[in-house]
């Protein structure tokens, strides 16, 4: 059972850059699940990336995206972690 979802927008305020934290506070499953939106380009770009992935292509820099926390969200994140630690 999830006990709450927390959403944090990136400082750029793009819809694609949102972190979602789902808290589960059950004693045997106590965890924080984090999800982030993945880029969803045109179908041909996704197909091309998929083919490269299937054949083992790796960029020397890796596959990364970034997310920048807003200063005002730092306290919300801290409170979320403190609430989670209580159990």
- pLDDT-flagged residues of the chain (< 70): 1-3, 38-40, 61-65, 87
Task: Find residue 34's DSSP bridge partners.
Answer: 21
pLDDT in tens, 28-49: 778 888 887 766 678 888 788 7
The whole-number pLDDT of residue 47 equals 87
The whole-number pLDDT of residue 1 equals 44
The whole-number pLDDT of residue 75 equals 93
Q: How far apart are CA 25 and CA 40, in angstroms?
A: 32
Cα torsion angle, 15, 74, 5, 1, sign: positive
Q: Average pLDDT of the chain? A: 81
Domain residue spans in the chain? 4-86
């Amino acid at each position: 059972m999830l006990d709450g979802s927390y959403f944090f927008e990136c400082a750029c305020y793009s819809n694609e850059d949102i972190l979602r934290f789902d808290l589960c506070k059950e004693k045997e499953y106590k965890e924080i699940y984090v999800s982030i939106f993945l880029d969803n380009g045109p179908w041909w770009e996704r197909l091309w990336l998929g083919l490269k992935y299937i054949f083992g292509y790796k960029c020397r820099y890796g596959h990364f995206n970034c997310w920048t926390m807003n200063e005002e969200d730092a306290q919300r994140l801290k409170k979320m972690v403190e609430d989670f630690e209580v159990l």
